[in-house]
Amino acid sequence: MAEFDVDLFVIGGGSGGVRAARIAAGHGARVMVAEEYRMGGTCVIRGCVPKKLFVLGSHVHQEIEDAAGFGWSIAAATFDWPTLVANKDKEIARLEGIYTANVEKSGGEVVKTRAVLEDAHTIRLGTGQTVRAGTILIATGSAPNHGAMIPGIEHVISSNEAFHLPELPKRVVIQGGGYIALEFAGIFAGFGSDVTVIYRGDNILRGFDEDVRSHVRAEMEKAGITVLTGCTVSKVDRHGKEFTTHLSGGSSIASDLVMFAIGRHPNVANLGLEKAGVALNPANGGIAVDAWSRTSTPNIYAIGDVTHRINLTPVAIREGHAFADTVFGKRPVQVDYATIPTAVFSQPEVGTVGLTEAEARAQFSHVDIYKTDFRPIKATMSGRDTRVLMKLVVDGSSDRVVGCHIVGDAAAEIVQALAIAVKMKATKADFDATFALHPTAAEELVTMRTPSARYVRDAAAE
């Protein structure tokens, strides 16, 4: 009788867990994946994918407005929120089926139930069955965090519930200044809602380049979104179907919906981690792991949002793949977390890779900045008051491009390609030697010749 029922047991059927399962099975491992909710995880079911579909849908309103400048006369358009939600649900169900099928095609087994650790090798399923595994991978992701339990917190929704609202709210208050808050601000505003964003800091998009933060805020405000910074929500009152949101400064806002998007916490509760000797990282609350994604228990690993390292789907996928190659493919792989591209599907869209200006100036003695802010060609005909921002951050000593930041249409698509150049350590001279593709917004990236700023750190200050 074999010591273990399976070689690998994966807790969590999201993008990272599924990738790890498929690659491990491809290496010949006997694999089982447990998912208590729906295969696909946060990204597919209640995150990146439905959000991007909503963003695309909300952008149609702007396209209709812009059409007049190009000679189109479009009759008054109508929008039906329930149709959007129903069609989104169909697509998510299709993707969920693909995720399950892909695991099964690779030779793995999927069990739709909760899984809890009994010890370092034993997992108890929601059915009461126990499974013995040689290696366990925890990939349970994260969940919205509402923060402090203020009065009326029960009236507040998260991004999870936003995908299933029965109707489009006319007035929306969103607390938060990061990816999710700004993306939903643009979504609701695009569909016609009156949106107010509340953020505790001095400006939105903390951690992003300062020029990006300022540009996005200005564009959002031009689009009619109210952005209030330096304050927080202290209380939410309900009056029938309406809400009154009280702010820390003493003012209040009436709305039909209140949403918090102030962060996410790792899904570590009630997994039996203590029984298996799996430690948490006190600094971030996620499962503590080393560079190989190994936890404090040698045969148990963790990847993705549950580790609270870098909460991005492609990172979880890369971690899952590296884990499977290392443990089951006998090919040790460590994930390189440098120069990870990221996008905010706000309106306008943000795409960025590499260092911010502030990070570069702290790291390098000589930093050159190339920056342009211009009206896109489409706006010259549509008449829309909007501008594009493009910025390159260059190590002045080596001439290497160490950061790229774009705000505008297709920013994420452009940055995905640029990330290759940044990863390959391309220089500004390499950019300059590249032919421009005209007429495009992206050609600005290879035609900016004169630095907008140059910084030299005093050697005596180092």
Q: Which residues are catalytic?
A: 438
Answer for the pair 353, 422: CB distance below 8 angstroms, yes or no: yes
Answer for the pair 430, 421: CB distance below 8 angstroms, yes or no: yes
Phi, psi of 390, deg, nearest 5: -135, 135
The C-alpha atoms of residue 280 and residue 427 are separated, in whole angstroms, by: 41
What does the block give as tokens for 134? 């040689």
Answer for the pair 124, 116: CB distance below 8 angstroms, yes or no: yes
CA dihedral sign, ordered 263, 358, 229, 193: negative
Ordered DSSP codes for 4-47:
-SEEEEEE--BHHHHHHHHHHHHTT--EEEE-SS-TBHHHHHHS
Region of 172 on the Ramachandran plot (φ > 0 left; ψ -120 to 50 alpha; else beta) = beta
What does the block give as tokens for 116? 């809890």
- What is the edge-to-edge ordering of all strands in the sheet holding 350-354? 342-344, 350-354, 401-407, 388-395, 366-374, 453-456
